[in-house]
């Protein structure tokens, strides 16, 4: 049966695009190992379709054989959602060959791309045509738009442009039955029934396979300035956010907070990056002002904002990047926190959201709770404060092995943090999704009626449970 399926898959996609362990020269670890090295699965095969019809045929063949499918893009997901389990019976459906820009419609401000298009290539295609595609995140050099849609990725521009969901107008999807839904409309208004597009987005490959998407484009800003500000407390960071909204309006396109320990890890592991202002300040904030007039206007606005912030004591020191290169350097420091944390060792990662106004109290209370319950833990706090989304990460005490720390503490730490998140009316997953890592916790924190509707949707769309089983829902 297995051999028959593999032969069918080879017929559909071509021999070179069905990789198995039978060939000792082929290393499947790039598809089987998750980015954080939390899990190593074993696939029956890695299948690489070249077009939508091939995806549909693969899904039909797998459905007939009762073989489940794990859709995968760039494999940069952080919650173990895109790698196979260890049964050796699942196929990984790698979408990276389907990476074309299919169409651009400047008057409609849209671009249509295939799911395997790397985010950076989509940004570049938009830029080459004189537009901005604003989704931006540290993994943009290798994550794909299919994965971004699959996880409803956030990133650093959400405060102005929203999550990936807000950037998408239409989808082409292969259903669990192997049918093709031709939904690449590019319409900004369409009230003809249930919103299937938004149901697919963020479903982490459990409801359908996204093969292409029509995404929104924006005008490029006339000028873009970046500032790095030291703030005396999280309360001050929230106060600065309020001021920035007031004074910059829609010009505020980025507002990231970074804790002192998070920045110390960048300094320790990437000392050539020269992190500013971290040594004497508990928090730093990275702000971006995108201006529709000109650079001088942007600079004046920014300087007035920082002056007002210093007057009211919510900023103690600040630098404004003098050039694009300097600005990129500051963003690079921010994006390097994830890699610095990897260098430091395995950690418990969180991507929670809390109403912005309550974040200072949440952090103070939860820091104290963790210090009491798990003495010595080191908090790597950073993230998208503008969206109320914190990476409230917990690193093992100095000198303690990360693997042993996770084995003994992960579940307890997650419970402590998620109970606090629930108390503050937050979400246990604001960005990275549920995947496998949070699937056991979701029923404890999700509204029971919502969970029941989610189960009903999954049952209706994928009754055979062949699309990414065990992820999001069990």
Query: Could you list the residues that contact ligand MLT (CB under 6 A)?
Result: 138, 338, 351, 383, 391, 431
Distance CA 55, CA 47 (A): 9
Q: How far is CA 237 from CA 23, 110, 140, 366, in A?
A: 55, 35, 27, 18
- Minimal distance, residue 166 CB to Zn ion, in Å: 16
- Residues between 416 and 435 with contacts to Zn ion, criterion CB under 5 A: 431
Least Å distance between CB 40 and ligand FAD?
Answer: 15
Give least dist CB 391 to ligand MLT, A.
4
Cβ pair 73, 143 in contact under 8 A = yes
Q: Is 6 in the site for ligand FAD (CB under 6 A)?
A: no
Position among 97, 120, 125, 138 found at the interface with ligand FAD (CB under 6 A): 138
**C-alpha radius of gyration, the chain, whole number:** 23
Q: Which residues contact 79 (CB under 8 A, 6 or more apart)?
A: 429, 432, 433, 434, 435, 436, 437, 438
Per DSSP, 396 falls in state: P
426 binds, among ligand MLT, Zn ion, ligand FAD, none (CB under 5 to 8 A by kind): none
Decide: is 146 part of the binding site for ligand FAD (CB under 6 A): yes
**Which residue is closest to ligand FAD by CB?**
147
Number of residues that bind Zn ion (CB under 5 A): 1
Contact status, residue 174 vs residue 208, Cβ threshold 8 Å:
yes
Q: What angle do CA 281, 287, 288 make, to 5 degrees?
A: 160
- Inter-residue contact 321 to 227 (CB < 8 Å): yes
Among 41, 84, 154, 254, binds ligand FAD (CB under 6 A): 154
User: Which of the ranges 146-154, 219-227, 319-327, 437-445 carries the binding residues for ligand FAD, by CB under 6 A?
Assistant: 146-154
**Interaction partner, residue 183 (ligand MLT, Zn ion, ligand FAD, none; CB < 5-8 Å by kind):** none
Do 207 and 465 contact (CB within 8 A), yes or no? Answer: no
Q: Which of residues 167-186 bind ligand FAD (CB under 6 A)?
A: none
Q: How far is the CB of 364 from ligand FAD (least distance, A)?
A: 25
Q: Is 84 in the site for ligand FAD (CB under 6 A)?
A: no
Match 């050039």 to its residue by tokens.
Answer: 323
| Residue 323: CA count within 13 A, CB half-sphere | 3
- List Cα–Cα distances, 27 to 22, 33, 176, 264, 287, in angstroms: 10, 11, 28, 36, 42
- Taking residues 377 to 416 in sequence order and writing x for each that binds Zn ion by CB under 5 A, - otherwise, the string is ----------------------------------------
- Applying CB under 5 A, which residues contact Zn ion? 431
- Applying CB under 6 A, which residues contact ligand FAD? 35, 70-78, 81-82, 95, 115, 137-139, 143-144, 146-148, 150-151, 153-155, 204-205, 209-210, 338, 431-432, 468, 471
């Amino acid at each position: 049966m297995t051999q028959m399926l593999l032969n069918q898959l080879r017929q559909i996609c071509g021999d070179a695009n069905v990789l198995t362990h039978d060939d000792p020269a082929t290393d499947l670890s790039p598809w089987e190992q998750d980015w954080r090295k939390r899990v190593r699965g074993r696939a029956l095969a890695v299948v690489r379709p070249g077009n939508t019809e091939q995806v549909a045929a693969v899904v039909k063949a797998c459905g007939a054989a009762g073989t489940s499918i794990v859709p995968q893009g760039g494999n940069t997901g952080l919650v173990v959602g895109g790698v196979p389990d260890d049964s050796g019976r699942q196929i990984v459906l790698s979408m990276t060959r389907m990476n074309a820009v299919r169409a651009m419609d400047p008057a409609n401000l849209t671009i249509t791309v295939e799911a395997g298009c790397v985010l950076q290539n989509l940004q570049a295609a938009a830029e080459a045509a004189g537009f901005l595609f604003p989704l931006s995140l540290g993994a943009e050099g290798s994550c794909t738009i299919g994965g971004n849609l699959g996880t409803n990725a956030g990133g650093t521009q959400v405060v102005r442009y929203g999550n990936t969901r807000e950037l998408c107008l239409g989808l082409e999807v292969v259903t669990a039955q192997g049918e093709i839904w031709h939904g690449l409309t590019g319409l900004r208004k369409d009230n003809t029934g249930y919103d299937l597009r938004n149901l697919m987005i963020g479903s982490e490959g459990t409801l359908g396979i996204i093969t292409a998407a029509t995404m929104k484009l924006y005008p490029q800003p006339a000028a873009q300035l970046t500032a790095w500000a030291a703030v005396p407390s999280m309360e001050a960071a929230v106060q600065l956010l309020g001021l920035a909204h007031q004074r910059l309006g829609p010009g505020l396109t980025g507002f990231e907070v970074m804790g002192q320990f998070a920045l110390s890890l960048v300094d320790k592991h990437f000392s050539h990056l020269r992190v500013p202002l971290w040594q004497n300040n508990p928090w730093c904030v990275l702000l971006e002002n995108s201006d529709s007039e000109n650079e001088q206007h942007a600079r004046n606005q920014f300087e007035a904002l920082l002056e007002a912030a210093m007057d009211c004591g919510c900023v103690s020191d600040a630098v404004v990047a003098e050039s694009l290169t300097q600005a990129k350097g500051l963003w690079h420091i921010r994006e390097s926190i994830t890699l610095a944390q990897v260098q430091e060792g395995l950690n418990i990662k969180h991507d929670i959201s809390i109403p912005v106004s309550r974040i200072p109290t949440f952090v103070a209370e939860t820091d104290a709770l963790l210090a009491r319950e798990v003495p010595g833990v080191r908090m790597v706090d950073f993230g998208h404060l503008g969206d109320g989304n914190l990476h409230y990460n917990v690193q093992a005490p100095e000198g303690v092995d990360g693997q042993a720390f996770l084995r003994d503490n992960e579940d307890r730490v997650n419970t402590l943090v998620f109970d606090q998140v629930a108390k503050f009316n937050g979400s246990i997953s604001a960005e990275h999704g549920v995947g496998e890592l949070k699937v056991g916790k979701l029923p404890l924190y999700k509204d029971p009626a919502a969970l029941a509707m989610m189960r009903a949707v999954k049952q209706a769309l994928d009754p055979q449970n062949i699309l990414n089983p065990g992820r999001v829902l069990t």
